[in-house]
Amino acid sequence: MAPGCLTFSIRSALASQLEVRPALIAGLGVEQLDLPNPVRAGDVLHLELGVESRRRSRSRPDRGVVQLRYAMRSQKGDVVLSMRAKLLVALRDP
């Protein structure tokens, strides 16, 4: 079984390979992180990503705060990682 820190690192690697990624300025924190099922040698993992909320920064109108929801699943469909994170991102059209 893989340790939780390795599972989290795999999520980070998969997120960095997404075709469309936010223009990250800073991470504002992980609000929830669950590792409900183990990752085992030979598992094939995929990442699902969704936007829970977004808003323009009150103090910096060229930036926004986005809350993302991640779910990483094994080839069996078992959730091996779920998390919510808040990011500070650059806006395309401030």
pLDDT for the residue 26 = 94
The structure's pTM equals 0.84
Render pLDDT for 80-93 as a digit per residue (tens, 0 to 9).
999 999 999 999 87
Name the nearest CA neighbour of 68 among 58, 55, 80, 83: 83
Percent above pLDDT 90 for the chain: 77
Over 80: is that where the pLDDT of 62 sits?
yes
Q: Which domain holds residue 30?
A: 4-90
Which tens digit of pLDDT belongs to each residue from 48-61?
999 999 999 889 89
Q: Give the sheet arrangement for strand 79-90, strand by strand.
A: 24-34, 79-90, 63-73, 46-56
Number of domains within the chain: 1
* Distance separating alpha carbons of residues 90 and 86, to the nearest angstrom: 13
Could you tell me the CATH number of the domain that includes residue 28? 3.10.129.10
The residue that leads in pLDDT, 20 or 35, is 35
